[in-house]
Structure formats: C-alpha cells, structure tokens
A and B are shown apart, each in its own frame.
Chain A
C-alpha cells in the first residue's frame, strides 16, 4: 500500500512542474491581446525603451487617438541593442508580435525575414511621399514593409568653427586637403587635430562607415557587388577608408587618451575646441545643444573628405521603420495601417520635429525646422546639391559584427589597414552565410 501512494504523488509532481512551465511560457501569450470594448479597436505598438523614444511615441499616440477616437493604441517597450533584436525575432517567430513595431531598417530588417513575417505596405498612399533613397532600406524584391520613424542621421566630421576661424582654414573636400588642415592644426598646437574615442568601440567605425557615400559616388554598383560577393574591402575604393583610419594614428593627429576616451568626452572635446575634428554622427550636435549649449555656435559639420574625385558626399544613416506583422489581422490590421499612415502625414511630421528631430527627412512632407542648429543647416548644402548617399548598412543586408573591434585595432596602430580590411571581409562572409545570401 505504501508504494501505491507514491506514483500518484509523482503524477502530481509532474503536473505541478508542467503547470509552472506553462505559467512561464503561456503568460507571454497575453502580451499580444488588448482589451476590447464595443466596436473600439485596441492595437499595441512596440518601441525601444529609450526615454526620448517613449516620450515621442506617447505624444504620437495621443495625437492619433484624438483624431481616431475608435482606436486605442497601447505602448509596449523593449530593450535596445542585441537584447531588442532577440525580443523582435522571438516574438515574430512565436506569433506574439505587437500590431505595430518600430525596428531598424536596412541590414537588421533583412535579418528578420520581412517576406515571411511582415505585411506589405507597398499599396499605401504615403509611399509616394517617401524619398527614393529610403525605399531600399525597408523593401525586399517582394514589397515595401516599413514607414520611416524619423529623420536621417548624417555621418561625417564634426569640427570646431573657432579653431577653423583662428587658423583661417577652409572646409576640406578631399582627403589630402583634410590631411593638410590637420597638419596645420598640429603645428599650431592650439588643438588636437582629430579626436578619437575608442573607449566606446562603436565610435571607431565612423571613418569607414561615413566614407560610403564617397565610394558609392565613385562606384554606384559597389553595394550590389558587395552583397553579391563581387566587391571587397581589401580593394579600392573601399580600402582607402581603412588606410585613412590608420594614417590618422600614424600622423600623430589623435588625442593622447584616444584608447580610453568615451563618446561623451569626444563631444566635449570638439565642442570646447580642445579638438578640431571628431569623425562622428550628427547626434553630436544635439548632444552639444543639450549638454554644452554655450558652445553650440562653435560646432559645424562636413561630409567625410573623399579619396576619389574632388567633391565629398554626405553619408546618411537612414531612419528606422514602423512595421506591421502578419499576425495583425481584421480590424486590428486596419487600425494598424491607419496608425502607420498617420505618422507619415504633415501632422506626424510636426510631432516628429517637436520631439527634437531635425532631419534631413525622407518624407517630403517634413521640413527642416527654422530653429535647427546652424550645423544642421550647413549640411543642407549637400542635400541641395544632391551630394548625399545612404549608408552601406541601408543598402546592403550585410554588416560584419566585428567592425568596431577591427576599426579600433587599425585606428590604434595595432593592425595594418590591409590586414584589418582582410579580416573584415572574412567576418562579412560569416554574416552573409548566416543570412543565406546567394553567391557566398
């Protein structure tokens, strides 16, 4: 009799283990569903959890709900970076994705299989308002899947105007002119010619990434060839950027704490004039506006000087997209499409500008605000002349994950430009194979 009791207890134990596992796994299911009250539709909207994004999203939702009283939008958030990537991939593959979500365009979008998981938005009326340069970043051969979430982010060289005025320097267009300016600055001793901040490894990539508009201007086919395994970093025109990165170090132009300095230090150095140049994204300008407003007038920006030709081109990092997963259906799908369309109206643009986005924009209904910092307006010269181009990661699905570390090694003089470019090509191959691209 003693033993007959025990199997029952065993069953109870297995049952309770199953219950615990279910309560962990099954609870995820409740994330996707919203409350429904007679006739009203509730949709969920997933964004990254940065405070500025959440604030802008809440303003957007409030304005949308005011115009569409029958639709309620509930905001969900996810962590940024690779944790966010995993959230998006997991929720798409388990069918738990929010009705609308914001996520990167370009190479990261390709990694989440848009054809399989997202609703095509090619037929939406707002598509005609988008700039052509943005379309490849949110499209596959089968359709267009995303609407831009904001303005583009230019990448190039942020410079200190006071240093330039003091030495009577002109804005360089070619790499040789840039080098000559740097040598003059070095000789004068009034500022560090070039600030680098390898304490944040991602910042080391800018000399390479921001050169891409120059490469594309000289070789328009390069991105397509690169994706098809026909163009490499070890060959020109791509190799030039790696050589430049190494040359900045070998010429002795860098701040002496380049190996440990962080992004914030870089922003401060170029704002105060301690450094003359900082190869970076235009985000520096907004960081100066917030943290060192008294120096905002001293900040300017130009495109990465080119090694080919006489005119430099500004590289634009394209905005993320808003996407609708295939799991949104019926009334929710209609509401989701309505919400996405709302973000692309003139009203949506106003909200974008109010939330601190300056552009240049990829929706023609949006205009750079009159009170944008001078440095942003300066960049409009490139836009007006048509001398801009999207970043490589917006037009090719492959970006090798080791680029920050390789750029740090080449930029610190640990590794030669050739060797860095060669290792990066190997890294790119791993990524292309992982994505299952043809030709690799």
Chain B
C-alpha cells in the first residue's frame, strides 16, 4: 500500500469512474464513427464498403464546394475578428467617454443565442422589406440581395459572425494590451517614435500571444460554424453558402448516414490538421519568448 501511494497520489480505482466515462462517452463513439464512415449504414444494419464514402465525398462537387467554403469562411471570420478585435481593444483601452458601457456593449452579442441572431439578421437582410436595404434606399443606394445573391451570401453571414464574435477577441486583446509594460512606450516616445511606430514595433509584436489565441479560437469555431449559416441561408441559395457542418447535417437528414459519418471524420481531421500545428507553433513561440 505505502509503496503505491508513494508512486501516485491516487489509487488506480480512483481513476476508474472518470476513465470509464471517458471511454464510454468519447473513445468508443469516436472509434465506432471511424468504422461506420467505412460502411453504408441505416438504423437497421450496415454494409462495409471500404473508402467509397470518402471517394463520393471528394467527387461530389457540392461536398467539395462546402469544404472550400468552410476554409474561406474560417479565414474571413478569423482575419475579421483579429483586425476588428485589436482595433476595438485599443479604442476601449484608451481614455474615452463611457468606456465601461462601450466595453459591455461590444461583448453583448457574444451572449446572445446564435440562432436568435441568425433569424434576426435574416429579417434585417431581406432584399426588399429588410431594414438594411430600406435604410440604404432612403439614401438612394440600391442594396444588394445580401443572402440571396450567390456571390454575397457567404460573406454576409461571415460579417454577422464577426459582429457576433468580436467581443471575445476584443476581451483577449485588451488583456494582452494591458500586459505590455508602459516603460516601452515611454522610452520609445522619448526617442521620438510616432504613434504608428509605437503600434507597429511595440504593440503588434508584444500582443502576439493574444493574437495567436484569437486566431486559433476563431479558426476552430469558423471550421465548425453551423448555426448562423443554417438559420440565415440554409446553405443557399442552392449550395453557394454550404459549409461542411451544414452539408453533413443535410446528408444525415436525407438518411445518407455513411456519407455524413465520413463527412464528420473529414471535418475532425481538417480541424485537427489545422489547429494542432497552429497550437504547437504558438507554444514554441511562447517558450522562446
């Protein structure tokens, strides 16, 4: 007894409940979903078909298109949230009127349900009766079909996503900015640095860790995005704003279970393949600093 408690703080059985739940709720389903992605299955039975689902997935132009849209969406929303988040963070860390109120306002959209936001913006974006195009009409601009124009639909949803999610990025950047020692700015100021130089050579490099956190968080959420797209466009018009998650959802709805399981595995691999290297790189930089 004594020798074992010296080796580990807890006896082995202490780990059993957590380990059991982990295996039951996460390891087993993940393993079975890898297996079922190689089958054509219904709720009644399954047939093993090898990699056929994956072949179909990458040959089907809609499925492959959704893959491209997902990457585009993740990049647009991440870049947007980094730029807007940093700008807002600098503004809200400055000496401005009603700072506390403005900080709260920027964060509020994060707290609202994505489905609620999606439905609201679908109404606002209506090309004829929506508030946005009505307002544009007043100043003589003929507003586009934000969600009905196939070239604009995905970008419109991404804009709403940025608006909704920028609060978290702003918060992280504000914390990052506060952590930069004031001395650097003071000495740079004495050396005659301009505001732009201060931002470019002090703020930007030193806010790096915060930037990485924001990028990783937003790339992951961008790759997995579903609620806003589903409520605003349903992937439409046609398939022009379909992303991986919405296509997988539709394939499940249609009863193409094997194909959608394969889609989920693809999504799992894509998210892992993009975020794990990003995370590693981020960790290495942090250690180096």
Contacts and interface: CB of A to CB of B under 8 A. Distances in A.
B11 A3 contact: yes
Interface residue range, chain A: 35 or more
Main secondary structure on A side of the interface with B: helix
B240 A414 contact: yes
A393 to B, nearest CB: 13
B145 A431 contact: no
Contacts of A90: 43
Nearest to A90: B43
Contacts, number: 93
Contacts of B235: 405
Contacts of A13: 17
Nearest to A81: B253
A433 B42 CA distance: 11
Interface string B89-127: 000000000000000000000000000000000000011
Contact of A409 (B13, B42, B237): B237
Nearest to A256: B128
Interface string B33-73: 00000001011100100000000100011100000000000
A402 B56 CA distance: 15
B208 interface: no
A412 B238 contact: yes
Contacts of A10: 13, 16-17
B259 interface: yes
A7 B13 contact: yes
B234 A401 contact: no
Given A113-B44, A414-B238, A423-B62, A82 B259 contact: no
A259 interface: yes
Contacts of B1: 3
Contacts of B271: none
Given A113-B44, A201-B234, A414 B256 contact: no
Contacts of A433: 40
B164 to A, nearest CB: 22
B17 A405 contact: no
Contacts of B88: none
A397 to B, nearest CB: 12
Nearest to B254: A401
Given A10-B17, A260-B127, A408-B237, A434 B44 contact: no
Contact of A93 (B16, B43, B62, B253): B43
Interface centre among B256, B257, B259 (most CB of A within 10 A): B256
Interface centre among B20, B145, B234, B237 (most CB of A within 10 A): B237
5 contacts: A93-B43, A408-B237, A423-B62, A430-B60, A434-B255
Going nearest first, the 5 A-B pairs with the smallest beta carbon separation are A401-B254, A409-B238, A259-B148, A82-B253, A89-B43
